[in-house]
Amino acid sequence: MAVCTRHPRYAALVAAALLTALFLLAPRHPPPGALRAPLDPALPARVARANAIYDKMLVAREGLIKKFGPTPKAVELFPPDVPPWPPYTVWDFFPAAYNCPHEVERLGALGDGGKWVCGLSRVAQKADCVVYSFGINLESSFEAEILAGTAHCAVYGYDFSVKSFGPEIPPAQVHRTHFHAVGLAGEDKGGEGDDPKMYTLETLMRQNGHAHIDILKIDIEGWEFETLTTLLRPYAQSGRALPFGQLQLEIHIWDKTFAGFLEWWEMLEAAGLRPFWTEVRLFFYYVLSPYSFLNVRGNNIFISDVFLSGQS
């Protein structure tokens, strides 16, 4: 006490030094939504390798079109099954050639209903994990496994043909789900006389106060072409990152031409989407196929360790 009284400047310096030491030694807490898993120094190399593999496939696609075309307009979705036996189907031109840089697992029921997901472990402890699911049809095994495999993910379900999620959602997890009996479309149709009510993804995200979706599932029976064209085209043209990390999409191709489908698919690629898994549903005569895509643009949690809440 005597030293402090006689030398006030010295006492002030000592106090400042102690406060600085306490600040530097204090434990750091990541901001809400930050990646809590240890940093993965090998992740950038795996992502770069996956990009190189996919670029190689793009060159091969051009060669296949020239072989069976030689232009996209001359390529058929499904050549007639007459001699010589058809050498391809449309799906051969669009392989899921991107390498997910994490574990891949099928979530949900085997057969119709389940989806392939890349890196669920990356969002398992993410405090602000958000999942959107369009197309419920009273079967929610996919959504139930998302809830079971994560600590904080909130699941938002949309389907105007039903009134709730399916029975697979356990009562203990209902508080993490939000269901709305509306549909996804390329434009808003939510007026008093609109039945069913339809909204764009941008509108629904704004209503929920979300800037980013971690996992987006869309199964809307053919309307994915119009809906995703409206959603993705501005991002494909501007180079901005999409507001979601990955997409599980069921594609219904029954009324398309090869040239039209190729143009639509290339728009998905221009927006930053890369397919990492697919299944061909043979019981529907090849006309639909579920694909899983990663968004390779921006800093989402599946391709970057620097992801923070609100970034895309």
> What is 99-112 written as a DSSP string?
--SS-EEEES-TTT
Nearest residue to 251 (alpha-carbon basis) of 215, 273, 231, 281: 281
**48 vs 88, residue with greater confidence:** 48
- pLDDT tens for residues 248-290? 998 988 889 999 999 999 999 999 999 999 987 666 557 788 9
- pLDDT tens for residues 41-70? 899 999 999 999 999 999 999 999 999 999
pLDDT in the model for residue 137: 80
- pLDDT tens for residues 94-111? 999 999 999 999 998 887
- The structure tokens 């709730």 sit at 164
Instruction: State how beta strands 198-199 and 288-295 pair.
Output: unpaired
pTM of the model: 0.83
**96 vs 136, residue with greater confidence:** 96
Stretch 207-229: mean pLDDT: 90
What residues have CB less than 8 Å from 155, skipping those under 6 apart? 131, 132, 133, 143, 146, 147, 176, 177, 178
Q: Does 236 score more than 70 pLDDT?
A: yes
Domains detected in the chain: 43-295 (3.40.50.150)
- pLDDT tens for residues 137-161? 888 999 999 999 999 999 999 999 8
pLDDT in the model for residue 82: 65
Residue 295 contacts residue 244 (beta carbons within 8 Å):
yes
Stretch 23-41: mean pLDDT: 51
pLDDT in the model for residue 180: 94
* DSSP assigned state of 122: G
Q: Which residues pair with 189 in a beta bridge?
A: 198
pLDDT in the model for residue 81: 72
- The string over 228-247, giving b where at least 16 C-beta atoms fall within 10 Å of a residue's C-beta and e elsewhere, is beebbeebbeeeebbbbbbb
Mean pLDDT, the chain, whole residue set:
84
Written as six digits, the tokens of 191 are 């007026």
Q: Does 221 score more than 60 pLDDT?
A: yes
Stretch 170-178: mean pLDDT: 94
Stretch 192-206: mean pLDDT: 90
Written as six digits, the tokens of 100 are 């997910």
Stretch 4-10: mean pLDDT: 50
pLDDT in the model for residue 276: 98
Please give the share of the chain, as a percent, with pLDDT higher than 90. 57
Residue 178 contacts residue 130 (beta carbons within 8 Å):
no
Sheet strands (E) in the chain: 104-107, 115-118, 130-134, 154-158, 177-180, 183-184, 198-199, 213-218, 244-252, 273-278, 288-295
Stretch 173-189: mean pLDDT: 92
150's torsion region: left (phi>0), alpha (psi -120 to 50) or beta? beta
Q: In whole angstroms, how far apart are CA 49 and each of 45, 53, 117, 306?
A: 6, 6, 19, 19
Residue 278 contacts residue 289 (beta carbons within 8 Å):
yes
